[in-house]
Amino acid sequence: MNPPQRVGILGAGFGGLELATTLSEALGAAIDLALIDKNDAFVFGYSKLDLMFGRERPEAVRLPYRDFAKPGVRFLRETITAIDPFARRVTTDAGVHEADILIVALGADYDLDATPGLAQAGNEFYSVAGAERLAEVLPTFTRGRAIVGVCGAPFKCPPAPSEAALLLHDYLSERGVRDACEISLVMPFGTPVPPSPDTSAALLAAFAERGIEFVAGRRVSSLDPARKVAALDDGAELPYDLFLGVPKHRAPDVVLESGMAEDGYVPVDSRTLETKFPNVYAVGDVATVGVPKAGVFSEGAARVVAASLVAQLKGGEQPAAYDGRGACYVEFGAGRVGRVDVDFLSGPKPTGTFQSPSSDLVAEKQHFGASRRARWFDR
């Protein structure tokens, strides 16, 4: 009897969790799967907005990894310190792990130092810790200009800055201070959601209706804490009283140091998610695939890799190529959610189809989260 295949999955986000779950379901004891992550819990990306605006408590959005229990899978809470893609060897603060098949799903880290002044003079809402800090800061904001500013592209969940601006409008209105406040959104795209003109038009109409200024095609390059101004990449300056930032993203240091990255991320075959190293794959935000950095795309890529590995280990046909399709929910405020269905890889250019905001889509978004909690964490 052949020994079980050793599979190493680095990172337990959308991609890592879906990959480990699918491989466990299909192969069980035929694999020895190590899922490695330095964190103790998973948090959906959209929950950060819930934390920031006080709609949820931290303990309510955390899904502890101790509850992730699948046949053939070992969850290891360890910090990865080195990756050797040639030998498929991973070094952590607890030891060395070797794999027959290695999948890198470590996501993207935030580089606050890339935007001078951001760490000292601004607030970022893309990390759980940042969102929790803002939940304490926001109640103190009663007048002046708030800027939701993107500091670099690509960035996770492209609709999130627009959502933050719209939800901030609701939050300030509910507190009775909206008339004393201005809201500006600075984004390096010409429209809020470039692949979907209809989604962008709906968001621009929502901004206009609420008096939110949209500064298109610009990114925030630095903050001056003494003068309380944000400098844009064209040299313009915007004064602010509250800055909500989307930090510049980059692959984790351990990935950059491994020699796998080019231009900041890991290049892969967009059809198969294979890297240039044999039996090494990369999925999700850490990879250059040609799709947005968002959980639903990480999940889709993970399913393709899982199906390919199952075919390889059990025999059978290889799956169809990764199609780069996914649906993103968009919070429009006022208790309504829209949806954009995007297709990035099957045609000559990306396309997006918009579903108008509704209460039905609120329920659909809730089901999206509930179904993954049930699948991954048996909740």
Buried-exposed string 162-180: b where 16+ CB fall within 10 A, e elsewhere: bbbbbbbbbbbeeeeebee
Distance (Å, whole) CA 335 – CA 337: 7
**pTM of structure:** 0.94
User: Closest Cα to residue 124, out of 92, 152, 95, 143?
Assistant: 152
Q: Count Cα atoms within 13 angstroms, Cβ side, for 82.
A: 10
The candidate with the shortest Cα–Cα distance to 147, out of 56, 204, 57, 222, is: 222
Q: What is the pLDDT along the chain (379 residues), one digit of tens a residue?
A: 467 789 999 999 999 999 999 999 999 888 999 999 999 999 999 999 999 999 999 999 999 999 999 999 999 999 999 999 999 999 999 999 999 999 999 999 999 999 999 998 889 999 999 999 999 999 999 999 999 999 999 999 999 999 999 999 999 999 999 999 999 999 999 999 988 999 999 999 999 999 999 999 999 999 999 999 999 999 999 999 999 999 999 999 999 999 999 999 999 999 999 999 999 999 999 999 988 889 999 999 999 999 999 998 888 888 899 999 999 999 999 999 999 998 988 878 888 899 999 999 999 999 999 999 999 998 7
Specify the pLDDT at position 2.
64
Q: How far is CA 70 from CA 14, 238, 241, in A?
A: 16, 51, 48
Tell me the chain's radius of gyration from C-alpha atoms: 21
CA 21 – CA 282 distance, rounded (Å): 17
